[in-house]
Amino acid sequence: MRFGSLRSRSSIHGHYLKRKLSLMGIGSGEGSSLRNSPSFQYKSAGAGWSHLDEDHCICGKPNANLSLWRFTFNRAQSQLHYQYVNEDDHDDQQGLDFPGGRVTFTSEMRFISESAGKRVSCYRVLDDDGDPIMKSSVEVQVTKEIATKMYSDMVTLQMMDTMLYEAQRQGRISFYVTTMGEEATNIASAAALSSDDIVLPQYREPGVVLWRGFTMQDFANQCFGNKSDYGKGRQMPIHYGSNKHNYFTVSSPISTQLPQAVGVAYSLKMDKRDACVVTFFGDGGSSEGDCHAGLNFAAVMEAPMIFICRNNGWAIGTPIQEQFRSDGIVVKGQAYGIRSIRVDGNDALAVYSAIRQAREMAITEQRPILVEVLTYRVGHHSTSDDSTKYRASNEIEYWKKERSPLNRFRKWVERNGWWNDTADSELRNSVKKLLLQAIQAAEKTEKPPLAELFTDVYDEPPENLKEQEKLLRETTGKHPQDYPSEVPI
């Protein structure tokens, strides 16, 4: 397991502070000769640098006689061939002391390639048949207790998805989202964390709160929006949240959780807590501005946190080939100064060990870590979607059968002598019973009273909310047939 490394931020910061008043210097004061070179004349003639005033310096040591130039751009200049720019340019072994470290010069105009050529490798521990890869750089230690709980929770999550999905199809709940195909990403990451770590989810990570003890009844109450739902029926199904389990409530607008997570992580840092923040997002979420703001903010603030990107191939009907041209998400870490790793999201042991290591680094080194897990969304995006309209059925089947995270992990657990067919059917029978009971009970439980729509935001409701409640009551009174009869007024 290798995380991409980066320079220490504190030295960069210190360097920047020392130099910020003196502005930037080129080499050791050779600025004027550079300004006379054809290359610089090209720039100063308007192609790239514009003259600002006489009291600043960009070259060498601070020098009041030199001038500050700002890079500008126009279309005609951009059409100049690069050869003109470099004509007569001499090799310059000197460097530029720039905030963040010394930058060497080159007379060769080389654009950094848009791709590294070779894609970033994906860390895994188990091969496709559930056998440990002997060459693995880390010995992953998982106890029987943790391993069997991991497997049991993966099965439970899959069974819960099947039954609640059906409940939606039968019209008993309004909406549902499955996590099928991503069970290892959910459960193994949760297993690697401590319950003090604070989770800010996207929405396809219910396995994390399941691992922490959210019961089948808790899940069902939320999906049915009854009065036992912690969110008091005010959110769509699958928008789980639990103070008890340090699990922030899911919110629909994607990636808003990322900058918020940095703020939460910074509060842990200020309190010197032995915990980190973990936030999840999808490949689609990675295109949101909030994702980039969050990554940059976390790097600069040295926030103790883990960004887990579930790259599952699709954002509703948008495939990743249309989402970004980079090698996924992992490569973005380095651009922001964040240590990062790519992991096989269908290998529970790889996810477990990478997240454990990431957690250790996030807390002891007080820094963010980015983990990209490669996985696949086996189900439709949600019950409002039919993914066979935009992707091939054999693609879905391949991931469902050949790359199933449950099958692979079960083989490993079974080979250790920790699991067998009897244990498997006992587990499935008891989960089925629990789920049926939970769904029936949730359905029978009263809905939250109408008044709850207006509580829990303000201590004292403002006038406009009072006005809205009054209007709602008048309207439901006048047109009772248009409002759900089961909501207590």
Ligand X SMILES: Cc1ncc(C[n+]2csc(CCOP(=O)(O)OP(=O)(O)O)c2C)c(N)n1
Q: Which does 187 bind (CB under 5 to 8 A by kind): Mg ion, ligand X, none?
A: none
Task: Please give the Cα distance from 200 to 256 (Å, whole number).
Answer: 10
- Minimum distance from CB of 50 to ligand X (Å)? 38
In the bound state with Mg ion, the residue whose beta carbon lies nearer, of 213 and 319, is 319
For every residue of 9-55, DSSP letters joined together read: HHHHHHHHHHHGGG--EETTT-HHHHHHSHHHHHIIIIISEEE--SS
CA angle (232, 237, 241) in 5-degree steps: 60
In the bound state with Mg ion, the residue whose beta carbon lies nearer, of 153 and 283, is 283
- Minimum distance from CB of 249 to ligand X (Å)? 15
Q: Which of 252, 267, 425, 430 is catalytic?
A: 252
The answer to whether residue 166 is catalytic is yes
Task: Please give the Cα distance from 69 to 57 (Å, whole number).
Answer: 8
In the bound state with ligand X, the residue whose beta carbon lies nearer, of 311 and 357, is 311
User: CA dihedral defined by 219, 318, 401, 422, rounded to 10 degrees?
Assistant: -10
- Minimum distance from CB of 105 to Mg ion (Å)? 42
Task: Please give the Cα distance from 201 to 186 (Å, whole number).
Answer: 10
Q: Which of 239, 245, 380, 381 is catalytic?
A: 381
Output phi, psi for 301, to 5 deg. Answer: -85, 0
Nearest residue to ligand X by CB is 282
- Tallying the residues shown for the chain, one arrives at 489
What's the chain's Rg over C-alpha atoms?
28
Tell me which residues in 255-284 interact with Mg ion (CB under 5 A).
282-284
The answer to whether residue 381 is catalytic is yes
Q: Which does 253 bind (CB under 5 to 8 A by kind): ligand X, Mg ion, none?
A: ligand X
Q: Which of 340, 382, 387, 404 is catalytic?
A: 382
Q: Which does 285 bind (CB under 5 to 8 A by kind): Mg ion, ligand X, none?
A: ligand X
Q: Which does 252 bind (CB under 5 to 8 A by kind): Mg ion, ligand X, none?
A: ligand X
Cβ pair 300, 368 in contact under 8 A: no
- Minimum distance from CB of 284 to ligand X (Å)? 3
In the bound state with ligand X, the residue whose beta carbon lies nearer, of 44 and 251, is 251
Give Cα 82 to chain centroid, integer Å. 39
Q: Which does 327 bind (CB under 5 to 8 A by kind): ligand X, Mg ion, none?
A: none
In the bound state with ligand X, the residue whose beta carbon lies nearer, of 49 and 203, is 203
Q: Which of 11, 87, 137, 166 is catalytic?
A: 166
Interface with Mg ion includes 387 (CB under 5 A)? no
**H or E stretch covering 97:** strand 95-98
In the bound state with ligand X, the residue whose beta carbon lies nearer, of 49 and 176, is 176
Output phi, psi for 36, to 5 deg. Answer: -85, -10
Interface with Mg ion includes 378 (CB under 5 A)? no
Task: Please give the Cα distance from 7 to 337 (Å, whole number).
Answer: 8
Nearest residue to Mg ion by CB is 282
| Helix segments in 111-270, DSSP class H | 144-169, 183-192, 206-211, 216-224, 257-270
In the bound state with Mg ion, the residue whose beta carbon lies nearer, of 315 and 355, is 315
| Number of residues near Mg ion (by CB under 5 A) | 5
Instruction: Report the candidate in 352, 354, 358 with the shortest Cα–Cα distance to residue 189.
Output: 352
Q: Which does 416 bind (CB under 5 to 8 A by kind): ligand X, Mg ion, none?
A: none
Q: Which does 408 bind (CB under 5 to 8 A by kind): ligand X, Mg ion, none?
A: none
State the greatest distance between any 2 C-alpha atoms of the chain, in Å, as a whole number: 85
In the bound state with Mg ion, the residue whose beta carbon lies nearer, of 312 and 383, is 312
- Minimum distance from CB of 389 to ligand X (Å)? 16
| Helix segments in 337-420, DSSP class H | 348-364, 393-397, 405-415
- Minimum distance from CB of 290 to ligand X (Å)? 8
| Helix segments in 272-404, DSSP class H | 289-301, 320-323, 330-336, 348-364, 393-397
Q: Which does 154 bind (CB under 5 to 8 A by kind): Mg ion, ligand X, none?
A: none
In the bound state with ligand X, the residue whose beta carbon lies nearer, of 319 and 480, is 319
- Minimum distance from CB of 386 to ligand X (Å)? 15
Structure tokens at 28: 């050791």
Task: Please give the Cα distance from 335 to 294 (Å, whole number).
Answer: 13
Task: Please give the Cα distance from 355 to 9 (Å, whole number).
Answer: 22
| Residues contacting 457, CB < 8 A, separation 6+ | none
Instruction: Report the candidate in 265, 258, 278 with the shortest Cα–Cα distance to residue 359.
Output: 278
The mark string for 303-322 relative to Mg ion (x by CB under 5 A, - otherwise) is ---------x--x-------
- Minimum distance from CB of 310 to ligand X (Å)? 6
Binding site for ligand X (CB under 6 A): 204, 252-254, 282-285, 288, 310, 312, 314-316, 377, 381
Interface with Mg ion includes 431 (CB under 5 A)? no
The answer to whether residue 402 is catalytic is no
Task: Please give the Cα distance from 63 to 60 (Å, whole number).
Answer: 8
The answer to whether residue 252 is catalytic is yes
- Minimum distance from CB of 116 to Mg ion (Å)? 23
Q: Residues interacting with Mg ion, by CB under 5 A?
A: 282-284, 312, 315
Residue positions annotated with a catalytic role: 166, 252, 381-382
